[in-house]
Structure 1
Amino acid sequence: MMLRHTNNNSNIFDHPSYLSSAVNPFAGQNIGYLRLAVVGDSGVGKTSFARQFTETLPEVLSHDWDPQDETDDDYPRTDALVEKFSSTMMEIPWDNMDADDEVPARNLVFVDTPGYGSVVDAQVNFDLFMSYVGQTFEEKNKRISPFTEVSNNELMRSLVTGVGAHKFIDVCFYLIVHRLKPIDVEYMRLVSEKANVVPIICKVDTQSEQEVIDLKVHVLKTLREQGVSIYTFRIDYDRLINMAETGQSGGPPFAVSNADTKPASEDKDDHISFTPAQNELPLLRRLVLETQITNIRQFTVKKFINWRGKHLAQQQHQQPQPQPYYQQQPQQAMQHQYQQVTR
């Protein structure tokens, strides 16, 4: 599995939010350790979305993202899984207990993934990401003693925490542009077994408000009909569809613009012929990082517990069972009879 780690942190003291009185000094601590991922087709703006989500977050003190060339609107194509680390808090360096100073915690992780359209067989990139997610489950399961019976409640209490008790993907943002394709539905179905899927309609600055409303309704109705489980932020499908039809914000799929807001131009040729949809990125971040973060962690651990239950049942099924007496080999049966007679 191809996986790249980046470790070129920008200086924490150079970040304007570090000394800003407008930033709640405890907000970053409240986020704790969280792992996010972004998936979808090639060219939909996954890297751009991940950068916007973290770089413009006031609580971020330092991050791994390379400096962006403002003259270049294109990002290099992601051809492997890439983990990008950001820090919203400071912590003691546990690997060096003699150190006096705290260091950036690198607690907010964004996994950028290659688009399924970048290869001939989309299943290759599906398997790449699902192998990564599955490995986090397997690694945690190995750390749970097989000789001690652990209840689901005990697992929930120990794993639903923001102190880095696991490396599961807490939220997987699935990006869609202009239309929902059958392959998107199946990919979301696959990912939803092990991560909280949140559909995102991106590049809404290129779509009218009505187009985004229609696409939201179509996405929700299709996913409900196909039985695909997404993270609904504790809102049922019927209400989500009603919210989408009436243009209300607050639930998936979220509309996100990949372009920075530009000042109004007096040139008539620069004006677009439609009203673009509202950018819901600030709302999305508030829901994920503040109001719904505990519930998200609970659903993440619940997926692990469900996987672990199936995994243990499969292991027990594969273990050889002792054969009944009448199915034993003749020699074994005769030996058993001889032992009975001689006792």
Structure 2
Amino acid sequence: MGVLTTEEQGNRPNTQGIIKGSDLFGYVGIEAAGFEFNIMVVGQSGLGKSTLVNTLFKSKVSRKSCTPNYEEKISKTVHLQSVSHIIEEKGVKMRLTVIDTPGFGDQINNENCWEPIVKYINEQYEKYLKEELHVNRKRRIPDTRVHCCVYFLPATGHWLRPIDVEFMKRLGNIVSIVPVIAKADTLTMEERLEFKQRIRQGLQANGIRVYPQKEYDEDAEERILNDRIRESIPFAVVGTDKEHQVNGNKVLGRKTKWGIIEVENVAHCEFAHLRDLLIRSHLQDLKDVTHNIHYETYRVRRLNESNANGLGLSALSLENGTAEKSEAESQL
């Protein structure tokens, strides 16, 4: 399998070629002819975001991997960048977009560093809303909305940091957040369990909503499944793109002087649980929650604002139509 690379263009997604293979998202029961899945990764530099994303989709799909001659530079502000890929399996295509947030949490003063991220997420909702309001709208509206935000917590072994609390409080109402402990192999098993418990206590104490939320469970069976996931959050993960021989088998793992940490071995880390949540058991639910909960909340608020300002639905549609007409006329 291969990936064709191109240079990034700010926060406009780029399609990087077609990745094929039954091991990519063979877990997903796909009935549609094709669909989009947009995942955002947030966390300070050095937490292994790119490596984990590459491990998750078993190919080089991260921003770093897809940029020729990439060199890490600390951004003075949060600048969102995205890369897109077409992942194909058995004739079904999924457009995967990975949105990275370099610069987040890297400064001495991180005040309001979440604002560009909030703005980006809302801009995608606005873009979708305008497409919906077109008089002659497309049969399938291109979906650039963020379906999941994977938030990387450093393996400090202590409590949630103020920046973690502020970010998840502000983002939890507009996007599905899945917190993970990055580079979890730096903690002992006892430290990991204690840290996970402290984080869950911090989430509850601060009223932070992370996915999957209890109020969205539809039945008893789903509640049992999601309770098991909620007891594991945040997932303690390790990412690597290197393979090693273990008992005659090739496994993804990190080699240390004490042995090999197998990424997909649940006795070593919880990467497999995160992978299954994102691209096996809950992929469609993440898309549904985005559309039916987060986007719907945004849509209602925007339409109420328009009505309050005396514009109304028709005025928004007319505004969109005028913009389209102006664009068409400029091309004549």
Relative to the length of structure 1, the TM-score reads: 0.64
- CA gap of 1:307–1:26, structure 2 versus 1, over 3 A, is closer
Secondary structure at the residue paired with 1:89?
Answer: strand
Contact 1:189–1:228 (CA<8 Å) still a contact in 2? yes
Larger Rg: 1
- Counterpart in 2 of 1:311? 302
Structure 1 segment 51-90 matched on structure 2, within 5 A: 51-56=54-59, 63=61, 76-77=72-73, 79=75, 80-89=79-88
- CA gap of 1:310–1:233, structure 2 versus 1, over 3 A, is closer
Structure 2 gap ranges (5+):
1-8, 217-222, 247-255, 312-332
Secondary structure at the residue paired with 1:199?
Answer: strand
- Counterpart in 2 of 1:270? 257
Contact 1:54–1:86 (CA<8 Å) still a contact in 2? no
Contact 2:35–2:93 (CA<8 Å) still a contact in 1? no
Structure 1 segment 59-138 matched on structure 2, within 5 A: 63=61, 76-77=72-73, 79=75, 80-89=79-88, 105=93, 107-123=95-111, 125-138=113-126
Contact 2:148–2:177 (CA<8 Å) still a contact in 1? yes
Which digits, 9 at most, give the CA deviation of each residue in 1:143-163, with x for residues without a partner? 23389xxxxxxxxxx99xxx7
Secondary structure at the residue paired with 1:122?
Answer: coil
Q: Tell me the distance in 2 between the aligned counterparts of 1:292 and 1:23.
A: 12
Supply the AA of the counterpart residue of 1:76. Answer: E
Q: Deviation of residue 35 (structure 1)?
A: 0.6
- CA gap of 1:217–1:289, structure 2 versus 1, over 3 A, is same
Contact 1:114–1:125 (CA<8 Å) still a contact in 2? no
Q: Does residue 252 of the first structure (1) align with residue 252 of the second (2)?
A: no
Secondary structure at the residue paired with 1:193?
Answer: coil
Which of these residues, 37, 40, 49, is aligned with residue 34 of structure 1? 37
Q: Does residue 298 of the first structure (1) align with residue 298 of the second (2)?
A: no
- CA gap of 1:261–1:296, structure 2 versus 1, over 3 A, is same
- Counterpart in 2 of 1:177? 154
- Counterpart in 2 of 1:232? 212
Q: Tell me the distance in 2 between the aligned counterparts of 1:25 and 1:213.
A: 28
Supply the AA of the counterpart residue of 2:258. Answer: H
- CA gap of 1:141–1:25, structure 2 versus 1, over 3 A, is closer
Contact 2:153–2:179 (CA<8 Å) still a contact in 1? yes
- Counterpart in 2 of 1:154? none
Q: Does residue 168 of the first structure (1) align with residue 148 of the second (2)?
A: no
- CA gap of 1:230–1:24, structure 2 versus 1, over 3 A, is closer
Q: Deviation of residue 277 (structure 1)?
A: 6.9
Contact 1:6–1:82 (CA<8 Å) still a contact in 2? no
Secondary structure at the residue paired with 1:118?
Answer: coil
Q: Tell me the distance in 1 between the aligned counterparts of 2:63 and 2:310.
A: 47
Structure 1 segment 176-255 matched on structure 2, within 5 A: 176-179=153-156, 180-232=160-212, 251-255=232-236
- Between the aligned residues of both structures, percent identity stands at 19
Supply the AA of the counterpart residue of 2:185. Answer: D
- CA gap of 1:135–1:257, structure 2 versus 1, over 3 A, is same
Q: Deviation of residue 217 (structure 1)?
A: 1.0
Q: Deviation of residue 43 (structure 1)?
A: 2.3
Contact 2:16–2:86 (CA<8 Å) still a contact in 1? no
Q: Tell me the distance in 1 between the aligned counterparts of 2:48 and 2:282.
A: 25
Secondary structure at the residue paired with 1:84?
Answer: strand
Which digits, 9 at most, give the CA deviation of each residue in 1:49-71, with x for residues without a partner? 22222235xxxxx8576659xxx
- Counterpart in 1 of 2:323? none
Q: Tell me the distance in 1 between the aligned counterparts of 2:112 and 2:25.
A: 42
What do you get for the CA RMSD once the two structures are aligned? 4.4
- Counterpart in 2 of 1:139? 127
Q: Deviation of residue 188 (structure 1)?
A: 0.9
Contact 1:8–1:65 (CA<8 Å) still a contact in 2? no
- CA gap of 1:106–1:64, structure 2 versus 1, over 3 A, is farther
- CA gap of 1:106–1:122, structure 2 versus 1, over 3 A, is farther
Q: Deviation of residue 84 (structure 1)?
A: 2.1
Structure 1 gap ranges (5+):
57-61, 69-73, 92-101, 148-157, 321-343
Contact 2:118–2:171 (CA<8 Å) still a contact in 1? yes
Q: Tell me the distance in 1 between the aligned counterparts of 2:26 and 2:48.
A: 30
Q: Deviation of residue 193 (structure 1)?
A: 2.0
- CA gap of 1:82–1:310, structure 2 versus 1, over 3 A, is same
Q: Deviation of residue 130 (structure 1)?
A: 1.5
- Counterpart in 2 of 1:285? 275
